[in-house]
Structure 1
């Protein structure tokens, strides 16, 4: 499989990626409303509160949460296909990217997370923000076929294993949007040919070494 690449980020984009990134900067980069930013702020406040007793994210990322978690997750919205109604987010953890996309989009987001404490946190945020999202407290291997419009994941599994696990939930037009790191090209090289996938990589807005990987079945 050969992945198509997009141009690298400009110096202007990378200069914005600092620990001091503000909600207003994220609002501009994601092109969202003030109401959406306010919901993100409530979400992050809950995250910080729960982090004291439940290990939801790496503690060091709390100080750069707008960049590391909100922007990183929210950038996937620009790659959602028109008319997207259902999203399956696998290995949701603290809700990145699933909860962020649920805040931004009208689509119903199904979040799969096997850790019970994390699912309680996800459900708490959903209730607080009145989101159209569903939490499945189980492993993806045990989940009945969902066949959503889009499947998302961050730090889920190496690409070959991920495709094998996600294949039962894919229909011919399902789009995979995966947040990946510097080793994405190596993962693509090692990925099996079944199912046949077409890959496009986009530079991350939140991490100069990160990539957004878009996979579709190659008809």
Structure 2
């Protein structure tokens, strides 16, 4: 038998190359700068030029990755959704019924939102409308995970069939709008906001606490 069979296989470096690492670093620098600029100036007042100045990169480098501040904002939203998904998945795995998943998921979202975006809310110009990102792959994945979790816990509860697309859309819309208002208040009370959202979804207006 040939001794070649005993030669060790050559080591293949699986690490990304220098060019790929540079691209990753540039993209992250743009996102970090955009987060700071949007927080300091507000989304409406911020410009691509402001973001580029903060990165220290050439303008041509910026446009290699993003065409506009809208695309950068969508990328920030996509990044946030990607980091939120493990928290959502954890709530889905430990939920025993629809109310427990709803409460856990909404509270996890509000706590994540407060941690991620409170600085923007504190500094943005008074009266500026907070933009919502367009549909992105990670935001779509969040929708799909919520829908799948709803299907599982409702089946476990032997609940009557419902339109899962409408239910998921309605719950996400309520959480998103309440989350926006929650961050405008001081102090930010994620628990109270979650209680309000869950009671509204489960019981409608009659179930809400009286002022």
State the TM bucket, normalised to the shorter chain: under 0.3
TM-score, with length taken from structure 1 = 0.26
Q: By percentage of residues, which structure has more strand?
A: 1
Report the structure number with the largest CA radius of gyration.
2
Q: Structure 2 length normalisation: TM-score?
A: 0.27
